Amino acid sequence: MSKGFEFKDLPYDFNALEPYIDARTMELHYTKHHRGYFDKFTAAIKETSLEDLTMGEIFKHMSKHSAGVRNNGGGYFNHELFWSVMSSNGGGNPGGDLALAIDKGFGSFDEFKDVFANAAATRFGSGWAWLCVEKGKLEVCSTANQDNPLMEGAGCEGTPILGLDVWEHAYYLKYQNRRPEYIENWWNVVDWHAVGERYTKALG
């Protein structure tokens, strides 16, 4: 029985993250890029045994799969996570256990932001920056293209709880080549409550 991969509705309007992420970028990003990854991924696994696996199961043995499954499966999964950790009511600081873990792992929230922003800004070309839970601890890393930390061979391991898309299509209409400005403004829409829920779930 198929796991029933689906293209979920965006959890807010295209203009919900203004002025930090503009409505036109959101519309194109969701309807063209994300939709394209989903359509190509589901086409690539159609009538194969991969239809019966979860994304995590597919990622775990990624070396066995085609580039089409890797790139489009990653693009589909990564964007779903990306939308879910942003909100029009975002920004501010994390709380609870997540805040304590950030302080323990990085020294302070500001130091964490610096480490994360550096991972995002220095990712050459297209890719993602991630906050992950690995063996109960928080780690920051980045991956190329549409890879993510759940993928075998991504060079970055753990359960991702926060991800930032640094492909140019995520910011170019508003920020052009000013990736650091995009990264700085993005903190204003991070939904720390959602990230905290992901943190608790990742700890098991």
Share above pLDDT 70 across residues of the chain, in percent, rounded to a whole number: 99
User: Lowest-confidence range among 100-104, 146-150, 155-159, 190-194?
Assistant: 155-159
Asked if residue 6 belongs to a domain, the reply is: no
Q: What is the SS3 string spanning the chain?
A: CCCCCCCCCCCCCCCCCCCCCCHHHHHHHHHHHHHHHHHHHHHHHCCCHHHHCCHHHHHHCHHHCCHHHHHHHHHHHHHHHHHHCECCCCCCCCCHHHHHHHHHHHCCHHHHHHHHHHHHHCCCCCEEEEEEEECCEEEEEEEECCCCCCCCCCCCCCEEEEEEECCHHHCHHHHCCCHHHHHHHHHHHECHHHHHHHHHHHHC
pLDDT for 9-37, tens place per residue?
Answer: 999 999 999 999 999 999 999 999 999 99
**CA–CA gap between residue 3 and residue 134 (Å, rounded):** 26
Asked if residue 131 belongs to a domain, the reply is: yes
Asked if residue 7 belongs to a domain, the reply is: no
Note every long-range contact of 28-36, with CB atoms under 8 Å and residues 24 or more positions apart, other chains counting: 28/169, 28/173, 29/79, 29/165, 29/169, 29/170, 30/79, 30/83, 33/75, 33/79, 33/167, 33/169, 34/7, 34/75, 34/76, 34/79, 34/80, 34/83, 35/7, 36/72, 36/75
Asked if residue 14 belongs to a domain, the reply is: no
pLDDT at 44 over 50: yes
Confidence class for position 3, pLDDT limits 50, 70, 90: low
- The pLDDT assigned to 1 comes to 35
**CA–CA gap between residue 99 and residue 105 (Å, rounded):** 10
Asked if residue 4 belongs to a domain, the reply is: no
Show the domain range for 201.
Answer: 22-204
pLDDT at 158 over 70: yes
End-to-end CA distance of the chain: 26
Share above pLDDT 90 across residues of the chain, in percent, rounded to a whole number: 96
- The pLDDT assigned to 128 comes to 98
- The whole-chain average pLDDT of the chain stands at 96
Number of domains composing the chain: 1
Asked if residue 112 belongs to a domain, the reply is: yes
Asked if residue 3 belongs to a domain, the reply is: no
The CATH number for 184's domain is 3.55.40.20
pLDDT for 58-115, tens place per residue?
Answer: 999 999 999 999 999 999 999 999 999 999 999 999 999 999 999 999 999 999 999 9
Asked if residue 142 belongs to a domain, the reply is: yes
Q: What is the mean pLDDT of residues 190-200?
A: 98
- The pLDDT assigned to 4 comes to 76
pLDDT at 117 over 90: yes
